A and B are shown apart, each in its own frame.
Chain A
Amino acid sequence: MDTPNAPEAAPAEPRAAGSWLKGLVALGIALTLLTALLAYMASATRERIVQNEQAGVIAGLRALLDAETYDNEPLLDTIEITAPAIVGSERPVTIYRARKAGRPVAAVMRTIAPDGYRGPIELLVAIAYDGALIGVQVLHHNETPGLGNQFETRAAAWLDDFAGRSLADPPQQRWTVRKDGGDFDAFTGATITPRAIIRAVRRSLELYAAQRAQIFD
């Protein structure tokens, strides 16, 4: 490094009063400049970041919806619904709507499972117009590698188990992992993650059932 460090090496002298003030001023100026740079970067990257985040949604929608079944652009045909009583979060749920010839086909909810083992798990839950689940995709998670993330590794088919389920299949009390008397498998050594995902999927179905008219208005 070509950094000079002479000043600090000087023997300690009685400090001039306000020399630390000079330091604060210098620091203040530097930080103001850096903050301006940060603000600039934030606005310069915002579009790309949103795009990057959309990329996951686009891929998820493609995986969940059969291209034959709809003819609109669900990514643009969205509605936001806030239903803390059902979802358990103040955050609005974004819903992507698939239609064919104007008739509703499916709703894909971008929702979160707030109670993951290591923070919220972001999900895409696709529900057919009649209320049956089409499928579930995980958009983002911080679950423990090897344990909580088995839905993308060892138990890659686990998420497929949701396809075709509905509010009545299985009945409400069995909408959980087998360990809790439910119908769904847990992962080897990890119960919290599947429990959180199952709960979030169930809540999405409830939200859909309660608000289908508004969702497709």
Chain B
Amino acid sequence: MTDTRSHHLDDLLLLTALCPLLAASDTLVGALSVGIAALVTFACTTALLALLGRWLERDTRAIGTLLLAACVVALIELTARAWLHPAYQATGVFLPLVVANLAFVHLTYDATSPARVLRLMLAAAAALVILGIAREIVGRGSLLHGAQLLLGAPADEITLFRVDMGFLLAMLPPGAFIALGLLLALRNWLNERRSAAE
């Protein structure tokens, strides 16, 4: 596989992995909680798969990845419902989608290094957080809305400017895709400038 093609694969995977989680990126806190949940699930499934990897064939691996990820997500969901209940109420509906996201990434990369999967998941989490920040600023004019859900009482919302209803489009799911498009455009532009400079 050539380098550019593998880059394209990375891009495609990043997008597919992101899509199910995009809807949770309407605030920074939402994006962070789903991002963290995805990374924890990723770490647990990768460890489990590494343990079992020696016995798993390509076809059993696919089922295994899905089932293991589902178990891990169910465990995280129970934990969140018991000890992080407000955060669960805010983003809980998106948690099970992490399974789909992980299955994509794991199944495509099963023969290559976990380091690459890790990089991809970190990139996805970072993209979520960037989207969360951007959408919250544009949509609500605030930062860390609902932070007390994630961090406990002391954290407070930072109001950058006051809006009546906010810029709704940014907060609704289509806004996530528009924001993602802009983010990709920015990245492509930066890449192009860099390669032009070389």
CB <8 Å contact, A5 and B113: yes
Q: CA A20 – CA B57 in complex, angstroms?
A: 6
Q: Enumerate chain A residues within 8 angstroms of B81, measured Cβ to Cβ.
A: 45, 49, 52
CB <8 Å contact, B52 and A26: yes
Q: Enumerate chain B residues within 8 angstroms of A5, measured Cβ to Cβ.
A: 50, 53, 111-114
A147 closest partner in B (C-beta) = B168
Q: CA A49 – CA B92 in complex, angstroms?
A: 13
Q: Enumerate chain B residues within 8 angstroms of A173, measured Cβ to Cβ.
A: none
Asked if A214 is an interface residue, CB under 8 A from chain B, the answer is: no
CB <8 Å contact, B75 and A38: yes
With contacts defined as CB atoms under 8 Å apart, how many contacts are there between chain A and chain B in the complex? 107
Q: Which of B56, B57, B78 is within 8 Å of A42, CB to CB?
A: B78
Interface size class of B (residues with CB under 8 A): 35 or more
A side interface size, CB within 8 A: 39
A4 closest partner in B (C-beta) = B50
Mark out the residues of chain B between 61 and 81 whose CB falls within 8 Å of any chain A CB in the assembled complex: 61, 63-64, 67-68, 71-72, 74-75, 78-79, 81
B115 closest partner in A (C-beta) = A1
Q: CA A169 – CA B55 in complex, angstroms?
A: 70
Q: Which of A1, A19, A27, A188 is within 8 Å of B165, CB to CB?
A: A188
Q: CA A26 – CA B21 in complex, angstroms?
A: 31
Asked if A82 is an interface residue, CB under 8 A from chain B, the answer is: no
Contact flag A49-B114 (CB < 8 Å), given A27-B56, A146-B166, A147-B168: no
Asked if B83 is an interface residue, CB under 8 A from chain A, the answer is: yes
Asked if B59 is an interface residue, CB under 8 A from chain A, the answer is: yes
CB <8 Å contact, B172 and A146: yes
Q: Which of B56, B63, B71, B89 is within 8 Å of A34, CB to CB?
A: B71
Mark out the residues of chain B between 147 and 186 whose CB falls within 8 Å of any chain A CB in the assembled complex: 164-166, 168, 171-172
CB <8 Å contact, A142 and B172: no
Question: Main secondary structure on chain A at its contact with chain B?
Answer: helix
Asked if A171 is an interface residue, CB under 8 A from chain B, the answer is: no
Asked if B197 is an interface residue, CB under 8 A from chain A, the answer is: no
Binds B, one of A7-15, A68-76, A102-110, A127-135: A7-15
Asked if B101 is an interface residue, CB under 8 A from chain A, the answer is: no
Q: Which of B54, B60, B78 is within 8 Å of A45, CB to CB?
A: B78
Q: CA A111 – CA B75 in complex, angstroms?
A: 29
CB <8 Å contact, A146 and B171: yes
Binary flags per residue of A13-54, CB closer than 8 Å to B gives 1, else 0: 001000110111111001100110110011011001100100
Q: CA A38 – CA B164 in complex, angstroms?
A: 44
CB <8 Å contact, A45 and B82: yes
Mark out the residues of chain B between 12 and 63 whose CB falls within 8 Å of any chain A CB in the assembled complex: 26, 46-57, 59-61, 63
Q: Enumerate chain B residues within 8 angstroms of A37, measured Cβ to Cβ.
A: 71, 75
Q: Which of B78, B117, B139 is within 8 Å of A41, CB to CB?
A: B78
B93 closest partner in A (C-beta) = A142
Q: CA A34 – CA B74 in complex, angstroms?
A: 10
CB <8 Å contact, A31 and B67: yes
Please give the distance in Å from A40's CB to the nearest CB on chain B: 10
Interface residues of A (CB under 8 A from B): 1, 3-5, 7-9, 15, 19-20, 22-27, 30-31, 34-35, 37-38, 41-42, 44-45, 48-49, 52, 55, 140, 142, 144-147, 154, 188-189
The 8 closest A-B pairs by CB, nearest first: A3-B50, A45-B82, A23-B60, A52-B85, A26-B55, A48-B82, A1-B114, A34-B71
30 A-B contact pairs sorted by A residue (CB < 8 Å): A1-B117, A3-B47, A8-B53, A8-B110, A20-B59, A23-B52, A23-B57, A25-B55, A26-B52, A26-B56, A27-B56, A27-B63, A31-B67, A31-B71, A37-B71, A38-B71, A38-B74, A38-B75, A38-B78, A41-B78, A42-B78, A45-B79, A49-B81, A49-B85, A142-B93, A145-B171, A146-B139, A146-B165, A146-B166, A154-B164
